[in-house]
């Protein structure tokens, strides 16, 4: 979600209640089709991982934090009463440039604003370092935590135009060697499952909040990598959210040059990828 879509005349202090029709519909559709709707603010007042940079400093500026908390309080009121099995709140997409203690103080403020309106709401906080680092300081706050599934970037972001390093990557394989390191299923478990499992043992629920691979990575490589990821998450008992379902990363309208698509309702469907996802 992007807060700029629901404010009036560019003023982040003025929330327009009439701007939430599409989001209401998305939540309703998730319930209708047996999906869980996790609402995540991707661009928040004071912070976004993407350009353009936000005014203010969400991590350290109390006034900016109060504004962000007011937006979450509004959402908490709007969706109060929907059970946690159907909806959760993921506070901010991919926090970066913030240390864990500072981030924990921010999360405490946001969670407090939400719980004042809806005390039992399921709250998720992304890990720091763009969602990749577990945050033990959050455990006392009784929030779940979200990791990412983009590693190694040589697979997920090969030739991605917005990712500077991606254009310099060698053609990927899976498993693959990069320098002295072997990227394979065992590496995924050791580097990207085990540290989060350790956090889970301390009481935090874990969610893979975002993952996928850009359409320039060979389809056979993507499928092998996705299968290992999905099986590891299934073994761990973790849910996941694909970025994205329709578009350059997903099974629908991805524009891959090495896929024979099946046309359904005007869309180009990658049947192999879709069925792999459905099995997990």
Give the mean pLDDT of 163-171. 86
**For residue 223, what is the domain's CATH number?**
3.20.20.80
For residue 260, give its domain range.
3-278
Task: Provide φ and ψ at 115, rounded to 5°.
Answer: -70, -20
Give the mean pLDDT of 245-262. 97
Confirm if 142 and 108 have CB atoms less than 8 A apart.
no
Confirm if 277 and 240 have CB atoms less than 8 A apart.
no
Provide, rounded to the nearest whole percent, the portion of the chain with pLDDT above 90.
Answer: 95
Whether residue 150 has pLDDT greater than 90: yes
Q: What is the pLDDT of residues 37-85, one digit of tens each?
A: 999 999 999 999 999 999 999 999 999 999 999 999 999 999 999 999 9
Whether residue 177 has pLDDT greater than 80: yes
Whether residue 168 has pLDDT greater than 90: no
Total number of domains in the chain: 1
Confirm if 230 and 188 have CB atoms less than 8 A apart.
no
> Does the bond joining 244 to the residue before it have cis omega, within 30 degrees of 0?
yes
pLDDT of residue 88: 98
CA max distance for the chain: 55
Query: d(Cα 131, Cα 147) in Å, to the nearest integer?
Result: 5
Give the mean pLDDT of 256-280. 97
pLDDT of residue 58: 97
Which residue has 């459905």 as its token pair?
278
pLDDT of residue 165: 84
Whether residue 178 has pLDDT greater than 90: no
pLDDT of residue 189: 98
pLDDT of residue 164: 84
Mean pLDDT for the chain overall: 96
Provide, rounded to the nearest whole percent, the portion of the chain with pLDDT above 70.
Answer: 100
Give the mean pLDDT of 213-240. 98
Give the mean pLDDT of 235-264. 97
């Amino acid at each position: 979600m992007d807060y700029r879509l629901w404010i009036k005349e560019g003023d982040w202090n003025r929330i327009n209640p009439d701007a939430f029709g599409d989001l209401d519909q998305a939540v309703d559709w998730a319930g209708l089709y047996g999906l869980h709707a996790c609402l995540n603010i991707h661009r928040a007042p004071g912070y976004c991982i993407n350009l353009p940079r936000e005014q203010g400093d969400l991590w350290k500026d109390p006034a900016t934090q109060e504004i962000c908390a007011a937006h979450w309080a509004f959402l908490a009121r709007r969706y109060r009463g929907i059970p946690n099995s159907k909806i959760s709140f993921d506070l901010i997409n991919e926090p970066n440039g913030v240390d864990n203690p500072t981030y924990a103080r921010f999360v405490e403020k946001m969670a407090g604003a939400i719980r004042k309106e809806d005390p039992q709401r399921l709250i998720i906080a992304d890990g720091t370092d763009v969602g990749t680092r577990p945050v033990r300081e959050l455990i006392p706050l009784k929030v779940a935590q979200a990791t990412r599934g983009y590693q190694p970037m040589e697979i997920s972001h090969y030739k991605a135009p917005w990712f500077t390093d991606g254009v310099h990557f060698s053609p990927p394989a899976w498993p693959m060697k990069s320098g002295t390191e072997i990227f394979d299923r065992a590496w995924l478990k050791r580097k990207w499952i085990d540290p989060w499992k350790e956090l889970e043992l301390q009481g935090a629920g874990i969610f893979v909040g975002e993952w996928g691979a850009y359409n320039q990575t060979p389809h056979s490589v993507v499928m092998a990598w996705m299968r290992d990821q999905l099986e590891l998450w299934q073994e761990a008992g973790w849910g996941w959210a694909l970025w994205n379902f329709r578009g350059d990363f997903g099974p629908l309208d991805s524009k891959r040059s090495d896929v024979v698509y099946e046309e359904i309702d005007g869309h180009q469907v990658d049947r192999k990828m879709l069925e792999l996802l459905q099995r997990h």
